[in-house]
Every structure is written in structure tokens, then in C-alpha cells.
A and B are shown apart, each in its own frame.
Chain A
Amino acid sequence: MHPNGTNGGLISLESLVEKPRKSVNIEELRKKLSEGRGPQFWRTLEEAAESDELKEYVEQEFPGLSGQIPQGVDRRSLLKVMAASLAMAGAAACTKQPKEQIVPYVRQPENLIPGVPLFYATAMTTGGYARGLLVESHLNRPTKVEGNPDHPASLGATTIFEQASVLNVYDPDRSENVLNEGRLSTWGEFTGKFSTEAQELAMRKGEGLAILSGPMTSPTFLDQMSSLATQFPASKWYVFDPTVNPAVASAAKKIAGRNAFISYDLSKADVIVSLEADFMHVGPAALKYARQFARKRAVDNGQTPTRLYAIESAPSVSGSLADHRFPVKSSAVPGLAYQLAKACGVNAPTSGSAPEWVNVVAQDLQKNKGKCVVIPGEWQPESVHLAAYAINTALGNIGQTVSVLEGVEPDNTHSLNELVNDLNSGHVETLVILGQNPVYTAPASMNFQQAMRKARMVVRLGQFFDETSRWSHWHVPEAHYLETWSDARAFDGTITIQQPLIEPIYGGKSAHEVMTILLGKPDQNSHEVVKGYWQQRQQNSPTFDTFWQTALHDGWIANSTVGTIKGNPVALPALEQQGISGLEVVFRPDPTILDGTYSNNGWLQECPKPQSKMTWDNVVAISAKAAGQLKVDKGDMLRVTVNGKSIVGPTWVLPGHAEDSITVYFGYGREGSGRVGNKIGYNAYAIQDASTPYAASGSLQKTGEQYRIANIQETQTMAGREPVREAELADFREHPDFPTRFEKPLPPSESLYKDVKWPYNGYKWGMTIDLNVCIGCHACIIACQAENNIAVVGKDQVARGRHMHWIRVDRYYSGDLDNPEMYNQPIPCMQCENAPCEVVCPVAATVHSNEGLNQMVYNRCVGTRYCSNNCPYKVRRFNFYLYSDWNTESLYGARNPDVTVRSRGVMEKCSYCVQRIQEAKISAEKETRTVRDGEIKTACQQVCPTEAIVFGDLNDKNSKVAKSQQLPRKYGLLDDLNTRPRTQYLGYVRNSNEALRGQRGNREA
């Protein structure tokens, strides 16, 4: 992990990070684009403005390199140094191989064959809800997380968080000790003290006992809590999670009359309206929705693809795929939802006339009664959720595309607000905080830290000795979910037993274990608690062992889903106000590090944020119009003030962002994270007000300072060569071959090299990527990083265009700045047939294989970088420094033993997960058969929630990939260069509404 990039201590680099570049005149650019001048597709504003500076910048293969040659060195000395390095490099290669030890087991566990990974089913919870996983274990080290295909909330896919969670297990900054007021203590001592406290509390029937946790669905934990309620009837349970909006659950409760979850079936939805819902990216059922949406979006089988309208402030992952996007203020969504409800025949207390497009959307919904769905946004207030349900009811969608499921969360919990009140009024004496970090994440207006200090004893269970632990009397290290036993439920009730993959590396304890002390059974570990609960629940049935083994093996418990219950539309409450007048400040969890939970995770820090594609920071996202008015461009510091409190953050102009609205992101500006997450960005919680937590009225000021943001879209461009091809549905129907229709046949090869005909007698690997369904969630980037031991380089290096991701997801804009169309294009190595990289390598370190792979041989590479220079797709990555962390021992465990950990000075790139190909070929050969279609899944393909990536053998005419490459929608990237890429793309098809044709969204609203 290199928080700020490393230079290996050799040449002192002038930092690019703090040096801003000349800004773009946004006003001029807006005008230019709205008049249709400028490029058709662009990734950054500089690209759209066709700025000279950017041209110069991208022309350099790796920008800022020439500036690094030390000044004041003459040619002669430089040559001397080079000659000496060459000689030394030769001499260094002659060392004798060092002796290594080999350490067998004393007693080898059954079923464990060293060298053969095992997969265990478990689950990770986000916001309390489970996502079923299969975790790869090499000699009992978890190294890679995959989705459990049989689990309803995963379907084989995961989000970036599950992928990156494995790095957290080995995080060297995790807390290792029980601490009492900052002094070293032990679990035993804590148990003793806490047991005494529990006995005293029991005498008072729990008066003054408060438990604060995140949302919980764990049946075992709920059982423990009900025992607690029996033993300590006066105790109170508070639930808080900054990434969960309590309005979602409270609205569902109003609709169903009890705890409920409103679930959507998008496989039947011809029209989807999102009321600022990032339904394919956020929430317990997001991956299911993404899969259903993608299948319904298929155009090649003749079906009419689903049409998506997105009404939202900041462009979301789901919104990027919308056929029509209406950028509106987040606080205006309730009003628009009511207007839409009224237009759909719901009795909504709203006055005034709706914008024209609301009626158009309503008509489209009316036309598709029972086959449409309105999805309320996860950050919207109760009113929007109630309105959406009312619309769905009016349109006859209930039972079709919408169902109300029995809730799995407990309903006897209290909110953080109540906790603060109880603390301030002195009602809480003993506070047990399980996992959450409220000192950092509670809205500043609550002043949680002051309130917390009123408690006599605060016990904090946390993975880090962070902000909250520093103010707690006791800190207990928390076990990672891959280190401990528990259980959890999915949105539909499916229960998964969470089984650990490894003993707690840092001696962590689980919430169950802290609870057992309170419950007077301090000797129980979480395995005994969880298994004991299930034994009791199964009434000690003689078949319990079979039940237990099956549940662990499958990753879910049969017949544990909940039933559908009846919901009733509730009369819509009158809206308190029609949105925020003036500037609106929208608060959102950061797209990659959430509320700060993942701020010490280098993979997620370096994972580009969807849409903006910037890394290592949080920004103030503003619309192009506002930027034009304020005369700011990216990196100009802005002061955001809400209720007299302010923060300062760098501008990010986000095309498509609603006017008069800015978005700020949580998770940064931390002091209590670790070496990666500390002291970067601003802390948005500092201006959050508990009364208006997700959208507040505020003001914006330019400070005049500037800041460099590390964005991955500024380098590695394929400038102006039509990388994305798209068509309207009608045009696609007429010309299914639209991507290649106007392509001229290639001229006869004019290469200097002999045209080698490879026979490809065996396999011929290929990949197809469907732009029509890629939502740009970046799960592929992190999956690839985990699978291929890709290093983290730090912000400075990213700013120099040196990020190491083998697959990047380009985001292209098209149209005007206020509401552009957006396209997501994953770019792995194209594995060209006529690979430009191969011919320029002087040492044959990159060569063609008999199966069509463009192989990269690290041990041959001498680092000339000619290959990368010659690659038109810019997919090669160079280890300028020793990016892989070879020193932090704990991180060794996270590495995939089947992939070389690269060293300084070598080139690397996507290999099509060749280790998986070889593994599958070997197991097929052992059974004397060929590799079956679908047997090999590349890491990016396996994780993809929308199945946008297909991989397989092109020689097998029946394989999915061969069939997809027969589709007329197929095209090759930069085909005119005659590189003949193996990775092919399927063009994007937009299903616009006739009535809104020529007008992507609403520009007046």
C-alpha cells in the first residue's frame, strides 16, 4: 500500500499532485457542445474542449516522465550510469538461487490437498443484508471472493465491496489489542470487567444499558437481543448506519403495516422509472435487479428492450444507462413524484402543473400497466416511497413487478437521534457500540462525541482503533466477517450461515461474543453461539448434522425465504415544501469507500469512482452550468456552507448533474483510519444536519485555491476513433449491423511484417463485451485486481497515468454538458491477432500464443516500454517503481499464489486470466476431454452483475462467445488499424420514447 505513491527513494520527484493544470472555460465549452461543435464522444472536459494542453499531455505515453530526469546531469555521466546499470543488471541475474524451506503440516486436515484451492460458502452483509459468497481459500488463506450463483442476492456476482473485503482481512492497520482507555489490556480482563458491569445492570433490569449496532438480520443475533430484552427489559437497542436511509424501511412499514421489504421484478418490466434510485448499484437486491435489467435489455432476440427513465440529481450508475435522464434537484424529486402520481391517477396532494415530460412518462407507464415499475430512490424521504407504491398500485403492478415481502429486520429498535437524546438526558450509563463509528459518521449537528462522553462506560467493538474507539473506555478488536461465525438474511429472507475462512488474524471478536458476556455466558465463542442457536431452532433434530452440513455447503438454508404480504397504498402526506430553493447540497456515501468503512482499503481508494473516474479523494460535484457561472473548473477549491458550518473541497464538474445542486461525499477527511485512509479529502459529516440529512440548503464559494485530482480518464485515450457505437432501437432494427455499417473494408495489409497465419488448431480464446448492459459499476476492476495481484500505486502515480488496473472502464459522454448521454466501455487487453506490441519488443517478452493469447512474460521483460508505446488501446501497465508491497508481511496472505507478483521495471497487462485457462485445461486434459463452454470464467466476467462480459473458445461454434461474435451488433475497437482484436464489442442500443425524441431529458426543470 502506497498512500501517497512511492518513489523508492531514488530520484526526488516533483509532485504532480499539487500542481493544477490550466482550466477549461466551461461556459465556452457548454456553448460549443450545445451547438453541436466538438467531438462526438468525449471522456473529459479537456477532451471535449480539445485543449492543446491535454493533447500534449496524452501524447506523452506516461505524462510527466521527462520532468523526472534529474536536472544538472550531463550526457557523459548519464551514459556512465546507464552502462553501469546495465552491467550491474547482468551481474545481478547471476546470483545463486537462495535456499528455501518447505514446511508440511503436522496433521494435514482432511480434504485439503496443498496446491488445490478450496471454496467455502459464506456471506457478507452490507446494511445488515446478506450477499452469498463463495470464497477461495489457499491453504486456509482467503484470497478471492466470488458470488454464490445459488444465492438470490448474488446470482454469482458481487459488488466492489465484496471483492475488496478480502484485502481488509490482511490490513496491517487493523487493531490487534483490547484497549482500556488507550492502555493495553486483554480479552480476559475485559470479560471480567464487563461481566461485573452486566451483573450490576441485571440488578437494575438493564436500566441505562444501550446497544448501538448497524442494521441486523442475523437470526442468532436477533435471538441474543431477545434474550437481552428478557434479562434486561429496560435496555434499549439503537440502530444506525450512515449508508442506510431509515425512510425506506419506515415507508415499507406504513405500506404493509409491519416490517416489510418492497421488492421489484424487473424481468417483467417494460418501462422503469427511477425516482433517483440507483437500483442496480445500491441496496440489498441491487445485483438481482442488475441481472434482470440486463436480461430484459437484450435486443438481439427480437424482444423490445426495457426502457429506463431516470429522474435524479447526480448521474448514478443506473442512470448512466437510462434512455431518458431528467436531471433535477434531489429535493425536487418528491414534488415530481407527486406530479407523476397525479398523472397516473393517484390522489396526490400537489398543485401546479407538471413539466411536460412528466406527462409523457406517465403516458408511457399507463400504456404498460402491469408491465412497468416505479422505483423510489434509496435516499429519498418517505413521501417518495409512498408515492411510488401508490403509482405502482394504480398501474396494477403489485403482484406483477412489485411485491411486498415480509421484513427480516427487527422492529423494536431505536434511532441514533433517540440515542443522542437519551445520552444527553443522562439515561444511558453503559453504551455498547457494535461496529459502527458514530463519532465520525454521525451528522455533526448531533455532536455525538460530546453526548457519548456522558455515558459512564462505553465499550466499542471495532476493526480499527478509530475515532469512536479513541473516545471509548474499552476498545475490543472486531473480527472480520471472514474470521468469525455468524448468520444473516438476504432481502428475500434467505438465510446464510456465515462461516469463517481463517482464525482471527488480529485476535478479533464478534458481536455475538460481546453479547454473550452481557448474557452471562462469557465462555462461549461465536461458533458455539451460532451452532447452538440453530440446534435449538431445529429442536435438536437427529438430522441436525445433515442440516448443518448442507447449509454450510450450499451457502443458504432451504425454505428460509419469507412470504409475500399484503400492502396498502397509504394516503400521500402533504409535502412540507416544494424542494429547496436556491442551492441544494446533496449528501451521499462515497461510491467506493462508502461511509468511511473502506477508507483504509487501497484497492477501493484507487478504484475510480463511477462517472467521475477520479480516485483517492472526494470532490464537490457540480453541474457544468454552475461551474460556468462560478468560473471554476476541476480542482478549484470550493467552500460549501450548510447552516453556518463549512467544508472546503475540490470542484468536480459532473456533466449531467442537476443545476443548483451539488453533491458532497462521505468517507473522507479522516483521522482515525489508517496509513491509507487518513488525511485525504474533506469530511462531509462536518456539515451534515440531522434534520435534513441527505439534501440541505447551502451556499457555495470559490476559495481561489487549487488542488490536483487524480483522474484516470485523462490519459490512455483512443482520441477521436469512435470507440463507442450506438443506435436508436428503430435504427438498430433496420440496420442491425449499425456499428460496422459505414466501415470501409480494410485495405490490403501494408505491414512491414510478414502476415503470419496462425492455425489455432486447439483453442482460440476470445471475449465479447456488451456495451448495451455495462452499467459501469467497476466490480470487474476490483475482481481483476484481487485475482491478478495488481498493485496499488497511490494518488501521485495515478495522476501520472500510472495506475495498474488491467481492465479500465472508460466512460464516454456525448451531447451537451448539461445532460449528456453516457456510455461505459470496459477495456481489457484486446489480445490482437496482429498485435502491435509483439513486433516491437526487443527481447520477445510479449509474444503470441498458439491459442491467440498475447502473452506477457515478466521474467523476460527488460522494461523498454516500446510495447506500451505501440499499443493503440493503451492497456499496458508498467511498474515504474516497486509498486507491489514486498515488505508488509500481512499482505502476502491476500495474494493469489497462481499469479506472479510483479517487480519493478516490468510491463504487465490483462492475460485473459491465463491462470484460470491453464487450470481448466489441466483438469480437462486429466479427464481426456476438451474444456467445456463456460468452464473458464475470467475474473471480470464472473463478477459482472449484468453478464456484459462473455469469454470462451471461438473455435467452438456453439460457445456463447462464438455466437455473440456472430451478432451483427459486433464491432472491433479501432478495427481500421488492422490489429484484429480478439476482444470484441456489441454496440449500444437506445430505446428512446418517440415523444421525447431528440430531447434526452428535461433541460427546463
Chain B
Amino acid sequence: MRIAASAGVVSAPMAQLFRPASNTIAKVSLAAVVLLAGSTLAVAYIMDRGHWTTSVQSAPEQPIMFSHKHHVKDDGIDCRYCHTGVETSHFAGLPPTETCMTCHSQIWNNVNITQPIRDSWASGKSIAWTRVHDLPDFVYFNHSIHINKGIGCSTCHGQVDEMPLMYKVNTLNMNWCVNCHRDPAKFIRPKSEVFNIDYQYPANQAELGPKLVKEYHVQSLTDCTTCHR
């Protein structure tokens, strides 16, 4: 313990408040605060954009282990066979049990996997699926206008013919939507290719895109009320 003295004045001995180690502790704490704040933000960001929150790449449990891969790729069924509203309605539509029964009353009509279809048909009770592509209720997306203007199914839904169980490949976050709405030329394809699940953008998309945008009278709609009403 030292006694602090100055010219002519002798002050009473006083306990030192901070020990030398305090400096280090203070510096480390400051760094820790910055790091903690940073990592909290980082974690929040990752959580927010990550697959866990956006449900991208995760296939929810469904009442029937329905495989798009089997029906689209192996059987070659067109999207519109089941999603009948896609060209006319905002809602692409889910097939009624009756659509399933067009085939499954004849084939695979006695296996366990298709049992819920037969149950539904017999009881008249709908099959309750879990939504994979689910927009918030304040978002009004219209399938028909996208289909009619040369935006293909796979642009948003990915290669569903490669999905044994259905999952999302895109976040459907607003920035993802706006990405295309700002510049549709990057994502547009000829109308004839809209339902082509294997469509690959050609090398000359930079030329073809703007041409199609003009031809189809595609607008870059970024007004809020385009989707929010």
C-alpha cells in the first residue's frame, strides 16, 4: 500500500479503487460487449434467414408420402393435371381426392401408402395437407398472371421432379420476390416453356429476356399494393 502525497498536502490514506488488472478486465469486457452484440446480431440474422426459420429444404410431414418425383418424372404427369387453377386463379389449387382416385382406384389401390386417399373417398373427409409454400396472410400472390407472363413453375418451386417429398427451394421472402419484380428479364422464359420442369435458361438470356419482357408486356411492378392490400 502506497501513500499518495503531493506538495505540502498529506492526504489521508485511501484504498485504491481499481487494481492494475482492472485495465485488462475493462478492455476485455469492452471487446466482449462488441463481440456479444455482434454475434447476437449474427445469430439473429442467421436464424432469420436460415433454413430453420424459412423452412427451406425441409420437407414437412404429410398425411401421405406423396412423391412429386414419382408422379412428375417417372409418370410424366403435367403440373396442371392436379394444380388446375394455376392458369386462371391466384391459387394453383390442390387436387381433390377425386383426382387421386382417377388413377388410384385402378392402380396401387390396395397398398398402405394410398390408404388415406381411399379413406377420404369413402368418408367424404378431406385430406389435410401441410402447406409447403405458405405466404403470410397479408401477401396476395397470383399464380395465373405469372404463368401467363412467362414465369415458369420451376423458377420458384425448383425441380419438383427431383423431390421425393415436397420442400421449398426458395425462401419466398420479400427480397427474393422483389429481386425478380425489379428485373423480370432475368427470369422470364418463353410461354411454351412455362411448364417445362427441366427448363434451363439459355446462354443468351440477357438478350432473350428483354425481348420476351417486351413481347409479353411484362411490367416491373414494385408498388406495395401489387402484393399487399
Residues of A whose CB lies within 8 Å of any CB of B are: 94, 96-97, 99-108, 113-116, 762, 847, 849-851, 853, 855, 857-860, 898-901, 911, 914-915, 917-918, 922, 925-926, 928
A100–B98 contact, CB under 8 A? no
| Contact residues in A for B88 (Cβ distance below 8 Å) | 113, 116
Stretch of B177-185, B197-205, B217-225 at the chain-chain interface: B217-225
A113–B229 contact, CB under 8 A? no
Considering the chains assembled together, what is the distance between the CA atoms of A853 and B95 in angstroms? 38
| Contact residues in B for A857 (Cβ distance below 8 Å) | 224, 228
A107–B97 contact, CB under 8 A? yes
Residues of B whose CB lies within 8 Å of any CB of A are: 44, 47-48, 52-53, 55, 60, 84-85, 88-91, 93-98, 120-121, 124-131, 134, 136-138, 140, 142, 144-145, 148-149, 216-217, 219, 223-226, 228-229
Q: What's the dominant secondary structure at chain B's contact region?
A: loop
Q: How far is the CB of A840 from chain B (nearest CB, A)?
A: 17
A sample of 21 cross-chain residue pairs with beta-carbon separation below 8 angstroms, ordered by A number, consists of: A94-B53, A96-B52, A103-B127, A104-B126, A106-B120, A106-B124, A108-B96, A116-B85, A762-B219, A849-B223, A850-B223, A853-B223, A858-B138, A859-B136, A898-B229, A900-B138, A914-B225, A922-B144, A925-B149, A926-B144, A928-B217
Q: Given that A105-B126, A106-B124, A922-B145 are known contacts, is A115 also in contact with B225, CB under 8 Å in the complex?
A: no
Considering the chains assembled together, what is the distance between the CA atoms of A40 and B173 in angstroms? 54
A113–B84 contact, CB under 8 A? yes
B142–A106 contact, CB under 8 A? no
| Contact residues in A for B126 (Cβ distance below 8 Å) | 103-106
| Contact residues in A for B96 (Cβ distance below 8 Å) | 104-108
Q: Given that A103-B129, A857-B224 are known contacts, is A97 also in contact with B229, CB under 8 Å in the complex?
A: no
B225–A855 contact, CB under 8 A? yes
B97–A104 contact, CB under 8 A? yes
Q: Given that A849-B224, A857-B224 are known contacts, is A925 also in contact with B89, CB under 8 Å in the complex?
A: no
| Contact residues in A for B224 (Cβ distance below 8 Å) | 847, 849, 855, 857, 860
| Contact residues in A for B120 (Cβ distance below 8 Å) | 106
* CB nearest to B48 among chain A residues: A94
| Contact residues in B for A115 (Cβ distance below 8 Å) | 85, 89-91, 93
* CB nearest to A929 among chain B residues: B217
| Contact residues in B for A858 (Cβ distance below 8 Å) | 138, 228
Considering the chains assembled together, what is the distance between the CA atoms of A847 and B93 in angstroms? 33
Considering the chains assembled together, what is the distance between the CA atoms of A107 and B131 in angstroms? 20
A113–B85 contact, CB under 8 A? yes
Q: How far is the CB of A232 from chain B (nearest CB, A)?
A: 42
8 A-B pairs with least C-beta separation = A115-B91, A115-B89, A105-B96, A104-B94, A849-B223, A108-B96, A106-B97, A900-B138
CB < 8 Å neighbour of A918 from B121, B130, B226 = B226
CB < 8 Å neighbour of A922 from B138, B142, B223, B229 = B142
Considering the chains assembled together, what is the distance between the CA atoms of A900 and B135 in angstroms? 13
| Contact residues in A for B142 (Cβ distance below 8 Å) | 918, 922
Considering the chains assembled together, what is the distance between the CA atoms of A106 and B97 in angstroms? 5
Considering the chains assembled together, what is the distance between the CA atoms of A113 and B89 in angstroms? 7
B91–A106 contact, CB under 8 A? no
| Contact residues in B for A855 (Cβ distance below 8 Å) | 223-225, 228
Residue from the set B91, B125, B149, B217 with the largest chain A CB neighbour count within 10 Å: B91
B89–A116 contact, CB under 8 A? yes
Considering the chains assembled together, what is the distance between the CA atoms of A101 and B131 in angstroms? 5
* CB nearest to B143 among chain A residues: A115
Q: Given that A113-B84, A116-B88 are known contacts, is A106 also in contact with B130, CB under 8 Å in the complex?
A: no
Q: How far is the CB of B142 from chain A (nearest CB, A)?
A: 6
A100–B131 contact, CB under 8 A? yes
CB < 8 Å neighbour of B140 from A101, A102, A860, A915 = A915
B225–A853 contact, CB under 8 A? yes
Identify 17 new A-B residue pairs, CB closer than 8 A, beyond the known A855-B228, A858-B138.
A94-B48, A94-B53, A103-B126, A104-B94, A105-B97, A106-B98, A106-B126, A113-B93, A762-B219, A898-B140, A915-B140, A917-B225, A918-B229, A922-B142, A925-B217, A926-B145, A926-B148
| Contact residues in A for B60 (Cβ distance below 8 Å) | 99
Considering the chains assembled together, what is the distance between the CA atoms of A100 and B129 in angstroms? 9
Considering the chains assembled together, what is the distance between the CA atoms of A922 and B84 in angstroms? 18
Considering the chains assembled together, what is the distance between the CA atoms of A115 and B52 in angstroms? 30
CB < 8 Å neighbour of A899 from B48, B131, B229 = B229
Considering the chains assembled together, what is the distance between the CA atoms of A849 and B94 in angstroms? 34
| Contact residues in B for A116 (Cβ distance below 8 Å) | 85, 88-89
B145–A911 contact, CB under 8 A? no
* CB nearest to B90 among chain A residues: A115
A900–B137 contact, CB under 8 A? yes
Considering the chains assembled together, what is the distance between the CA atoms of A925 and B48 in angstroms? 35
| Contact residues in B for A106 (Cβ distance below 8 Å) | 96-98, 120-121, 124-126
Q: Given that A106-B125, A858-B138, A898-B229 are known contacts, is A925 also in contact with B130, CB under 8 Å in the complex?
A: no
B134–A97 contact, CB under 8 A? yes
* CB nearest to B93 among chain A residues: A114
A911–B229 contact, CB under 8 A? yes
Considering the chains assembled together, what is the distance between the CA atoms of A113 and B131 in angstroms? 19
Q: How far is the CB of B61 from chain A (nearest CB, A)?
A: 9
Q: How far is the CB of A265 from chain B (nearest CB, A)?
A: 42
B131–A99 contact, CB under 8 A? yes
| Contact residues in A for B216 (Cβ distance below 8 Å) | 928
Q: How far is the CB of B148 from chain A (nearest CB, A)?
A: 5
| Contact residues in B for A103 (Cβ distance below 8 Å) | 126-129
Considering the chains assembled together, what is the distance between the CA atoms of A74 and B60 in angstroms? 50
Considering the chains assembled together, what is the distance between the CA atoms of A114 and B85 in angstroms? 7
Q: How far is the CB of A151 from chain B (nearest CB, A)?
A: 28
| Contact residues in A for B128 (Cβ distance below 8 Å) | 101-103
A97–B136 contact, CB under 8 A? yes
Q: How far is the CB of A933 from chain B (nearest CB, A)?
A: 19
A859–B228 contact, CB under 8 A? yes
Considering the chains assembled together, what is the distance between the CA atoms of A34 and B125 in angstroms? 72
B47–A94 contact, CB under 8 A? yes
B134–A851 contact, CB under 8 A? no
Residue from the set B44, B98, B128, B229 with the largest chain A CB neighbour count within 10 Å: B229
* CB nearest to B55 among chain A residues: A97
| Contact residues in B for A900 (Cβ distance below 8 Å) | 137-138, 228-229
Q: How far is the CB of B21 from chain A (nearest CB, A)?
A: 33
* CB nearest to A117 among chain B residues: B89
A859–B89 contact, CB under 8 A? no
| Contact residues in B for A925 (Cβ distance below 8 Å) | 145, 148-149, 217
* CB nearest to A107 among chain B residues: B98
| Contact residues in B for A914 (Cβ distance below 8 Å) | 225, 229
